[in-house]
Amino acid sequence: MIGIFDSGYGGLTVLRSIRELLPQYDYIYLGDNARAPYGTRSFDRVYEFTLQAVRHLFDMGCPLIILACNTASAKALRTIQQHDLPSIDPSRRVLGVIRPTVEAVGDLTQTRHVGIVATTGTTNSRTYELEMAKMHPDIVVTSQACPMWVPLVENYEFDGPGADYFVRRDIETLLTRDPAIDTIILGCTHFPLLYNKVHAYTPAHVKLISQGEYVARSLADYLRRHSDMEQRLTRGSMARFLTTDDAQTFASAATVFLGQEIVAEQICL
């Protein structure tokens, strides 16, 4: 099975896109809802929690895990890949969501000025800036921390007037800091749930990038290039859902986010 990990519900937006493109495989989704949000936590905590989740998904038999969380991808991925994976099992893989997004944006911006909206943890890590400098050194990046957006989503307020206030404020701040921005990356997997609000406060000429489809395409490409990994994946078109918090609450929220009814199981990390 392919493991998909997020701090909470956000990664469901990535799982949805991945299952649309690659419906044949089996998936286990793990949301660490009991300890979300991660965006305001220190490097050490995000790394510790993410590693626990990765170990759990490995113990369940996943040969491949996607960290469908920008904060975890920014703060834990590299250490897990370089430090932990070689001793846990070098034949398994853990991939993130930042690199596929940065890869894709090179073809999307005309002005070469890109805005990132993300959690405070992701913006402070400067991972988007570092990856962009490696892949597209001509692109100017401006990152805007939006610490209120994840709580709005986790508390089902993404359609409410509170969301309007914070989304408008943060988008206006970003575009004032760099008016040449023509592309904004929703650099947090929770943010596609706020897409309508973000769209309402973004000028029509500015493109909004949700990561799901780019992560899905990048995974498909990875599996094409790594047939050894592809052959280890089971093909039953199944998905299992695990949460560290109440299973019933997770299942009702996930039903809204995924547009289909699911059953969830509670686990301890």
Catalytic (active-site) positions: 69, 188
List 2, 18, 65, 188, residue binding ligand DGL (CB under 6 A): 188
List 38, 49, 166, 250, residue binding ligand DGL (CB under 6 A): 38
**Using CB atoms, what's the residue nearest to ligand DGL?**
39
Binding of residue 125 to ligand DGL (CB under 6 A): no
Nearest approach, Cβ of residue 115 and ligand DGL (Å): 16
Other CB atoms within a 10 A radius of the CB of residue 245 amount to 17
Binding of residue 6 to ligand DGL (CB under 6 A): yes
Specify the residue, 54 or 63, whose C-beta has the smaller distance to ligand DGL.
54
Identity of the amino acid at 164: D
Binding of residue 50 to ligand DGL (CB under 6 A): no
Binding of residue 3 to ligand DGL (CB under 6 A): no
E-strand stretches of the chain? 2-6, 27-31, 64-67, 93-95, 113-118, 140-145, 183-186, 207-209, 239-243, 264-266
Binding of residue 243 to ligand DGL (CB under 6 A): no
Tokens of 113: 């000025």
Question: What is the pattern of x (binds ligand DGL, CB under 6 A) and - over residues 58-77?
Answer: -----------xxx------
Q: How many residues bind ligand DGL (CB under 6 A)?
A: 17
- For 50, residues 6+ apart whose C-beta sits below 8 A from its C-beta are 5, 67, 69, 72, 75, 76, 77, 80
Tokens of 220: 């498909």
Tokens of 269: 């990390």
- For 164, residues 6+ apart whose C-beta sits below 8 A from its C-beta are 197, 200, 201
Question: What is the pattern of x (binds ligand DGL, CB under 6 A) and - over residues 9-28?
Answer: -x------------------
Residues of the shown chain interacting with ligand DGL in the complex, contacts defined by CB under 6 A: 6-8, 10, 36-39, 69-71, 119, 122, 150, 188-190
